[in-house]
Amino acid sequence: MRIGIIGCGGIAAMMAKTVGPMNEVTCYAAASRDLEKAKTFAETYGFEKAYGSYEELVADPAVDFVYIATPHSHHFEHAKLCIEHGKAVLCEKAFTLNAAQAEELFALAEEKGVLITEAIWTRYMPSRRIINELLEQGVIGEVRTLTANLCYRICQNERIIRPELAGGALLDLGVYTLNFALMHFGNDYSQMDSIVVMTETGVDGQDCITMKWDDGRFAVLNASIYGESDRHGVFYGSKGYMIVDNINNPLAIDIYDADHTLVRHIDMPEQITGYEYQVLELMDCMRKGAMECPSMPHAETMRVMRMMDSLRKDWQFVYPQER
Ligand SMILES: NC(=O)c1ccc[n+]([C@@H]2O[C@H](COP(=O)([O-])OP(=O)(O)OC[C@H]3O[C@@H](n4cnc5c(N)ncnc54)[C@H](OP(=O)(O)O)[C@@H]3O)[C@@H](O)[C@H]2O)c1
């Protein structure tokens, strides 16, 4: 199938490197707001077409599906553009700026009969199933606690610190910690609390989120744009603990016993970059005529968007587009 990429920035380059070696995908079109930039991108990654506007790319009948790699602030507009042109969509996380936008997109996609899914890559990876199987097997006994962190020093990055680009730690990094907690502890949490530090530019710079489940389990989640972290997800059990390295791209799992001895090291299956799983699932669903992907159903995207809305409400943090 022929991929079209909208926005020739950082993650678009990573996607281009991913689909390059995939036999199932033809590197077809890249679109930028700047034609020269699109041409350079297309030449660098072996794409057949370069467009100087996103509208031209979605109007090309040869494009089978579109990967949206623009800032969070623009996902709604760009996904809408794709759906209106009947293009299947793989839209980067955070899916939209808020839940209302996500809801509108899903309704439109349903009306037009177009497949759309969120490119939250960790949901589509084999590590998700491997982690859950280990937990179910009781390899570390009864698990009551998980911690997860995702921090990068990206506080100098305009996309991250500008409110008008829907910046902030939550939509960029916290979204992974929330998804990690939901994927491995389930959706039926009963309480969520948080603390936040806002930047001078008016976005959340670092967040600590705590969640509680009625059966006594809880999660402690950290995201920050100010410094680096080990990005570990850790499960604490009655017989030991399990470290997932890392929650943004799980490559290995280490299991320790109660004496802090490493008893098992598990490498995740070899991958191109890890972005291929979401592309493969999207194409599989397109062939089947499905409207959503099983690894990230629309209801799950809505759940995470509503959680982030609720956290921002507690922080009295409103994006300029929401005023
Ligand atoms: N899955 C992951 O691991 C991962 C990692 C990083 C980022 N992401 C997600 O990918 C998306 C893009 O992130 P990125 O790091 O690639 O960002 P980036 O390097 O800043 O690129 C974003 C691109 O969006 C386009 N764009 C359209 N309107 C824009 C505007 N008003 N201001 C700035 N850029 C605009 C630009 O492309 P043109 O100039 O070519 O039009 C720009 O190069 C975000 O949703 C982010 O959360 C995901």
Q: How far is CA 315 from CA 45, 70, 73, 148, 246, in A?
A: 42, 25, 19, 21, 28
CATH 3.30.360.10 domain residues, the chain: 126-270
Distance CA 278, CA 192 (A): 29
Query: What is the chain's mean pLDDT, rounded?
Result: 98
User: pLDDT tier at 6 (50, 70, 90 boundaries)?
Assistant: very high
Whose CA is closest to 22, among 303, 257, 278, 237?
A: 278
CATH 3.40.50.720 domain residues, the chain: 2-122+275-305
Q: b/e string for 181-215 if b means 16 or more Cβ within 10 A?
A: bbbbbeeebeebebebeebeebbbbbbbbebebee
Give the per-residue pLDDT at 211: 98
The predicted model gives 284-298 an average pLDDT of 98
Tell me how far the alpha carbon of residue 11 lies from the centroid of ligand 1, in angstroms. 7
Phi-psi region of 251 (alpha: psi -120 to 50; beta: other; left: phi over 0): alpha
Tell me how far the alpha carbon of residue 68 lies from the centroid of ligand 1, in angstroms. 9
Per-residue model confidence as pLDDT tens digits over 171-225: 999 999 999 999 999 999 999 999 999 999 999 999 999 999 999 999 999 999 9
Give the per-residue pLDDT at 174: 98
Give the per-residue pLDDT at 96: 98
Rg of the chain over all Cα atoms, to the nearest angstrom: 20
Tell me how far the alpha carbon of residue 253 lies from the centroid of ligand 1, in angstroms. 30
Among 3.30.360.10, 2.70.98.50, 2.40.50.1020, 3.10.450.100, name the CATH number for the domain at 126-270: 3.30.360.10
The predicted model gives 265-269 an average pLDDT of 98
Per-residue model confidence as pLDDT tens digits over 29-38: 999 999 999 9
The predicted model gives 98-109 an average pLDDT of 98
The predicted model gives 47-58 an average pLDDT of 98
Tell me how far the alpha carbon of residue 70 lies from the centroid of ligand 1, in angstroms. 4
Distance CA 268, CA 270 (A): 6
Distance CA 318, CA 320 (A): 6
The predicted model gives 212-241 an average pLDDT of 98
Give the per-residue pLDDT at 163: 98
User: pLDDT tier at 22 (50, 70, 90 boundaries)?
Assistant: very high
Asked if 124 contacts 295 with a C-beta cutoff of 8 angstroms, the reply is yes
Per-residue model confidence as pLDDT tens digits over 117-175: 999 999 999 999 999 999 999 999 999 999 999 999 999 999 999 999 999 999 999 99
The preferred substitution site among 51, 159, 175 for testing ligand 1, maximizing ligand atoms within 8 Å of CB, is 159
Q: Where are the beta strands (DSSP E) in the chain?
A: 2-6, 26-31, 49-51, 65-68, 88-92, 116-119, 143-151, 189-198, 204-213, 218-224, 233-237, 240-245, 252-257, 262-267
Give the per-residue pLDDT at 315: 98
The predicted model gives 286-290 an average pLDDT of 98
- Structure-derived torsion over alpha carbons of residues 161, 164, 169, 172, reported in degrees to the nearest 10: -110
| DSSP-based three-state secondary structure for 192 | strand
Task: Give the pocket of ligand 1 (CB within 6 Å).
Answer: 7-12, 32-34, 37, 69-72, 74, 92-93, 121, 159, 165, 172
Asked if 38 contacts 53 with a C-beta cutoff of 8 angstroms, the reply is no
Asked if 116 contacts 106 with a C-beta cutoff of 8 angstroms, the reply is yes
- Nearest atom of ligand 1 to the alpha carbon of 175: 47
| DSSP-based three-state secondary structure for 15 | helix
User: pLDDT tier at 305 (50, 70, 90 boundaries)?
Assistant: very high
- Nearest atom of ligand 1 to the alpha carbon of 119: 1
**Per CATH, the architecture of 2-122+275-305 is what?**
3-Layer(aba) Sandwich (3.40)
Across the beta sheet with 262-267, the strand order is: 189-198, 204-213, 218-224, 143-151, 233-237, 240-245, 252-257, 262-267
Q: In one letter, which amino acid is 311?
A: L
Asked if 8 contacts 38 with a C-beta cutoff of 8 angstroms, the reply is yes
User: pLDDT tier at 23 (50, 70, 90 boundaries)?
Assistant: very high
The predicted model gives 274-282 an average pLDDT of 98
* Alpha-helix runs per DSSP H in 61-125: 72-84, 99-112
- Nearest atom of ligand 1 to the alpha carbon of 120: 1
Distance CA 106, CA 113 (A): 10
Provide the whole-model pTM.
0.98
Nearest CA to ligand 1 atom 26: 70
